[in-house]
Amino acid sequence: MWTYKKTLQYPVNIKCTNPKLAKVIISQYGGPDGELAASLRYLSQRFAMPDQKSKAILNDIGTEELAHLEMVGSIVHQLTKNASIEEIEKAGLGAYYTDHGVDVYPQSAAGVPFDANCLACKGDVIANLQEDLAAEQKARATYEKLIDLCADDKDVVDVLRYLRQREVVHFQRFGEALRDVQDKMAEKKFYMNNMKWNNNMNSNMSNCCGNNNTSKMNNGWCNMRNDSSSEA
């Protein structure tokens, strides 16, 4: 059962209006390495995971990314909600304001709208988890760049640092999932190879002895038992 709490995972309290910062931070809302892409990627990949533990990891992280999406959207909204038209134009958001006003629209810092082509759902467990590890590192790197750009606004930096740290935790959990899946795949391969070896051995024994020879051997063994019984 999925529940939603009407509070942010981490508080966002931005005091200063700054649409210039909002223009770059929005990349973590709708950019290719942002929270929307991450959430959709993980929640889509979870269905094909080979065991309940790996499914749970992707489900947990995918759900948490939705919480992060809400946080990033809150930052962008608070940075722009009281901005004047002059401030919006000076920040280079004139075209954005024309199309979306002060709504939070999913796009990259360069203004490219969100595109589902950035989702990596390959249908291969190992490939998907490797993509997830890379995605978390890209998100971490993006947050570090944003922290550099927003260094003068401590309220913004505080939230960005929290989000960056969560990406590190996600990376660690995906690494755990990858190791578990690889171990299970190795065990299955070892078991199947042993089954194949046993089947080959049985087949070779059958070919060497043949059905007639096997019958003769069985008959000979029975005769030996009968002879032994007579002597007794």
Question: Residue 158 corresponds to which tokens in the numbers above?
Answer: 């505080």
Residue 222 confidence class, pLDDT cut points 50, 70, 90:
very low
How do residues 6-17 score in pLDDT, each as one tens digit?
Answer: 899 999 999 999
Secondary-structure class of domain 19-185 per CATH: mainly alpha
- d(C-alpha 133, C-alpha 84), whole Å: 41
Cβ of 23: how many Cβ atoms within 10 Å? 21
Residue 91 DSSP label: T
Kindly report the backbone phi and psi dihedral angles of residue 107, in degrees, each rounded to the nearest multiple of 5, phi listed first: -155, 170
Which contacts (CB < 8 Å, 24+ apart) does range 211-218 have? none
Residue 5 DSSP label: -
How do residues 147-185 score in pLDDT, each as one tens digit?
Answer: 999 999 999 999 999 999 999 999 999 999 999 999 888
Region 102-120: what's the mean pLDDT? 93
